[in-house]
Amino acid sequence: MKIKPEEKKGQYRRIYEFLYESPMIPKSKMAERLGINWITLDKRLKEALEYYFILGPEARRCSNANTLEHIYLFNTEEPDMTYEKYRADPCVVYNARIYGFCNSLVISKEKIDVEGETLLEGPRSDYYVPFTPDHSFEQALQSMQGKIRNINPDDYAPRRFIRTRWNETVKWDEDDEEIFRESKYNLRIKTGVLIKDLHISREKINYWFDTLDKRCTIHTLFYPETLPQYQTYLSMIDTDYEDFVIDIFSELPATPSFFKVQDKLILMAYLPWRFIDDTYTRATEILSVPLLEAELLTRGIVKEKRAAIVGRSRKKDL
């Protein structure tokens, strides 16, 4: 029987749920739970990763004192040249051309001097990546609006979604760095491949994965229409109700991520353009993320927010 596209998408979704719950779950167990054979499961998993329905499970360094990454949001006179410059910098793990409240974003393994006007800089917190609900963007925005309108600030109790570890250290030597670089975008990589490529002992590699939760945050992400179909939306938020805001934007059906720099909450969301463009949303009377952010400002949950679109971007295997 030929599998219909919507059935395949449903299987991709279930695979995401399995991987989010248990990143190292065996393929045989996923196949059993899906009610398909191992060969079909393997094919579906490869498709989901190849077409960017699923990313991960991936790893990102925790914010320990000896594995810090430094964030820079800034304006430079020649942002396209700046983007190309930082593509070649060996300390830079991610850089992007931004269109909005600033024009450049750099994430570096070391402190650097950026050229131009810096709007925000500092060590980042751990990342927080929520579980992605299974509903449409229209349903998500309606749910988000309902939460905003029902917020009672007096009931707020921090849930500490985001953690900082700046006063802690973790074991991280050259071998640890090599293992991280090789497995960063695929934590399910076979141990034998790492032994062969890195010439590091099985014992040390096994120990690295056994202690992964002390070294890294694990990210498994889902994009129901594939990642390239979405626009990357960056919002810098000043709020005394950080976990309210995180809970609201965790309703989005394409996985967002959150982190902090200084006292600012940074949201990286992945949205269809129709839910960003205020001209379109007002003409069609549909909700948009900027409109919901405006409601948060009106209700005093957010003190200030500044938004931008991420254009050209690059992450590196560093």
Q: Which CATH number do you get for residue 280?
A: 3.30.70.920
Q: Are 187 and 262 in the same domain? A: no
Residue 249 and residue 305 share a domain? yes
> Which of 185, 183, 176, 184 is CA-nearest to residue 208?
176
Whole-structure pTM value:
0.93
Total count of domains within the chain = 3
Radius of gyration of the chain (CA): 20
- Would residue 277 count as lying in a domain? yes
Can you say how many angstroms the Cα of residue 247 is from the centroid of all Cα atoms in its chain? 15
Backbone angles phi, psi at 122, to 5 degrees: 150, 175
| 145 within a domain of the structure (yes/no) | yes
Reported as a single tens digit per residue, the pLDDT across 182-235 is 999 999 999 999 999 999 999 999 999 999 999 999 999 999 999 999 999 999
Closest CA to 184 of 211, 209, 214: 209
Domain that includes residue 201, residue range:
174-210
Q: Which residues contact 25 (CB under 8 A, 6 or more apart)?
A: 18, 19
How far is it, in rounded angstroms, from Cα 133 to Cα 255? Answer: 9
Residues 242 and 296 in one domain: yes
Indicate the burial class of 118 (C-beta count within 10 angstroms; 0-12, 13-18, 19 or more): middle
DSSP state of 124: B
Residue 141 lies in a domain: yes
Identify how many contiguous H helices and E strands the chain contains and give both numbers: 12, 10
pLDDT in tens, 258-309: 999 999 999 999 999 999 976 655 555 578 999 999 999 999 999 999 999 9
